[in-house]
Structure 1
Amino acid sequence: MSKVIVLFNLKEGVSVTAYEDWAQNTDLPMVNKLPGVDNFEVLRTISLFGSDDAAPYQYIEIIDISDMEKFQIALGDETMQRVAQEFQGFADNPIFIATESL
C-alpha cells in the first residue's frame, strides 16, 4: 500500500476556523470518495512529541492509496482540480511525500 503524506502550515492571514471547516466539509468527503483511496485524514499538530515545542507544521494529511493509477487519474477530474485550487489558497507551500510500505 502507498501513502501520500502532506505537511503544511496555513498561509498568513488564513483563518484556522475557515480552513478546518473547509477540510471537514469539502476536502475530507471529496478525497475519501476518490477511486484508489482507502482512507484520507487530516491531522492538526499539537506539539513535538515529548516536548512543549510547536511542531514545524500545523497540519498533516495522510492519504492511504490502494491504486495509485486510479488515484492520479481521479486527481485530474474538474471537481478535484477545483478542490486542489481551494487547498492551495489555504496552504503555504505544502510538501507532498509519496511513500510505500516496506
Structure 2
Amino acid sequence: MTRIIVLLNLKAGKSVADYERWAETTDLPTVNGLKSVSNFEVLRTAGLLGGGTAPYQYVEIIDVSDMDLFGEETSTEAMGKVAAEFQDWADPIFIMTEKLGS
C-alpha cells in the first residue's frame, strides 16, 4: 500500500464553507469510489501540538492499494474534472510515503 499525504491551503478568496461542501459532496465520494483507493480522508487542521497555527489548513490522506490502477483511474475524464476543480481551490503538495518496519 502507498499512502499519499496532501497538504493544502485554500487560494486567496476561496470560501472555507464552499470548499468543505465541495470536499464532502464531490471529492470524498469520488476518490473513495476508486477501486484502487482503500481509504481517503480530508482533515481540517486544528493547530499545532503545544500551541500555534498549523502551516496548512487541510491534510488529505489517500491510501492506495494499487498504484498502477490508481494511475489508470485518475486519468479518466471524470477524475480530470475533479482534479481541475481541486486545483482551482488550492495549490496542494502531494507526498508519497512508504511504511517502515512492515
Which bin holds the TM-score, normalised by the shorter protein? over 0.9
- TM-superposed CA distance for 1:62, in Å, is 0.2
1:70 partner letter: L
SS of 2:25 mapped into structure 1: helix
Identity of aligned residues (%): 59
Equivalent residue runs for 1:68-87 within 5 Å: 68-87=67-86
SS of 2:9 mapped into structure 1: strand
CA distance in 2, matches of 1:9, 1:48: 15
Q: TM-score, normalised by structure 1?
A: 0.95
1:30 partner letter: T
Alignment match, 2:99 = 101
- TM-superposed CA distance for 1:72, in Å, is 1.0
Alignment match, 1:6 = 6
- TM-superposed CA distance for 1:12, in Å, is 0.3
Unaligned runs of 5+ in 2: none
Equivalent residue runs for 1:1-102 within 5 Å: 1-51=1-51, 53-91=52-90, 93-102=91-100
CA distance in 1, matches of 2:5, 2:62: 6
Q: TM-score, normalised by structure 2?
A: 0.95
Q: Which has the higher strand share?
A: 1
- TM-superposed CA distance for 1:76, in Å, is 0.2
Q: Between Structure 1 and Structure 2, how many residues are aligned?
A: 100
- TM-superposed CA distance for 1:7, in Å, is 0.2
Deviations 1:42-86 (A, max 9, x none): 0000101121x1100000000011111111110000000000000
CA distance in 2, matches of 1:67, 1:46: 31
- Which stretches of structure 1, 4 residues or more, deviate above 4 A after TM superposition? none
